C-alpha cells in the first residue's frame, strides 16, 4: 500500500504534507484506541469450511481475519501498480483489478470491525481498524489519481491502445 500513490500525493497533488497526515493518523489511532471495547481472545478454532462466515459474523480471531487478506491485498495492489508503471498493464485493466478487489475489501473491512474484540490487546484492535481506514484512503487516493492526475501515474505516452483513458 502507498508505494506509488503516497509519493505522488505529497509531491504532485499537495493536498497535505507528511506531517499533517501523520498528525491525522495519530489522532485517528488515539480515537480508535479509546473507543475499543473490551477484548476477549477466542480460544476455539473454526473449521475452514465456515471461516468466511465466522469472520463475517465476528466469531473468528482477529489475527486470522486480518493477515491473510492484508497480504493478498497488498501483493495484488503492488503488482497492479508495478505493471502499470512498467507499461505492461493498461489503464482499463488497472481499473478492473481495483474493481475486482472492491467487494473483498468491503467483506474484509466488515470482518475486521466485527472481529476486533477477538484479540488479546486493545492496541491490536485499534491498529487493525486503523489499517482499514488506510485501505479506504488508498482507494480514494488512487481514484483521485485516476480521475484528476492520470498522466502522473500511468505514463500515457507509452500507452497506445488505451491513450483515451489519460484525458
Question: Residue 48's pLDDT is what?
Answer: 62
Dist. CA 59–CA 6, nearest whole Å = 34
Mean pLDDT on 15-32: 95
Residue 143 in domain: yes
Question: Residue 17's pLDDT is what?
Answer: 92
Output 40 or 67, whichever has higher pLDDT.
67
Q: Is the pLDDT of residue 98 over 80?
A: yes
Q: Is the pLDDT of residue 161 over 90?
A: no
- What's the domain range around 112? 5-33+51-166
Residue 43 in domain: no
Residue 14 in domain: yes
Dist. CA 89–CA 133, nearest whole Å = 27
DSSP 46: P
Residue 79 in domain: yes
Residue 103 in domain: yes
* Total number of domains constituting the chain: 1
Residue 41 in domain: no
Residue 107 in domain: yes
Question: Residue 33's pLDDT is what?
Answer: 93
Output 151 or 79, whichever has higher pLDDT.
79
Mean pLDDT on 96-115: 96
Residue 43 Cα distances to 35, 40, 112, 149, angstroms? 24, 9, 18, 48
- For residue 153, give the nearest of 93, 105, 102, 81 by alpha carbon: 81
Residue 42 in domain: no
Amino acid at each position: 500500500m502507498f508505494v506509488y500513490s503516497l509519493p505522488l500525493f505529497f509531491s504532485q497533488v499537495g493536498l497535505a504534507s507528511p506531517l499533517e497526515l501523520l498528525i491525522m493518523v495519530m489522532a485517528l489511532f488515539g480515537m480508535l484506541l479509546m473507543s475499543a471495547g473490551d477484548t476477549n481472545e477466542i480460544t476455539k478454532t473454526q473449521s475452514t469450511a465456515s471461516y468466511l462466515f465466522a469472520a463475517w459474523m465476528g466469531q473468528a480471531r482477529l489475527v486470522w481475519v486480518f493477515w491473510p487478506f492484508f497480504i493478498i491485498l497488498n501483493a495484488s495492489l503492488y503488482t497492479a501498480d508495478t505493471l502499470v508503471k512498467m507499461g505492461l498493464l493498461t489503464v482499463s485493466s488497472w481499473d478492473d483489478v481495483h474493481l475486482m478487489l472492491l467487494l473483498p475489501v468491503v467483506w474484509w473491512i466488515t470482518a475486521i470491525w466485527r472481529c476486533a474484540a477477538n484479540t488479546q490487546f486493545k492496541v491490536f484492535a485499534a491498529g487493525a481498524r486503523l489499517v482499514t481506514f488506510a485501505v479506504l484512503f488508498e482507494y480514494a487516493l488512487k481514484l483521485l489519481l485516476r480521475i484528476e492526475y492520470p498522466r502522473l501515474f500511468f505514463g500515457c505516452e507509452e500507452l497506445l491502445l488505451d491513450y483515451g483513458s489519460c484525458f
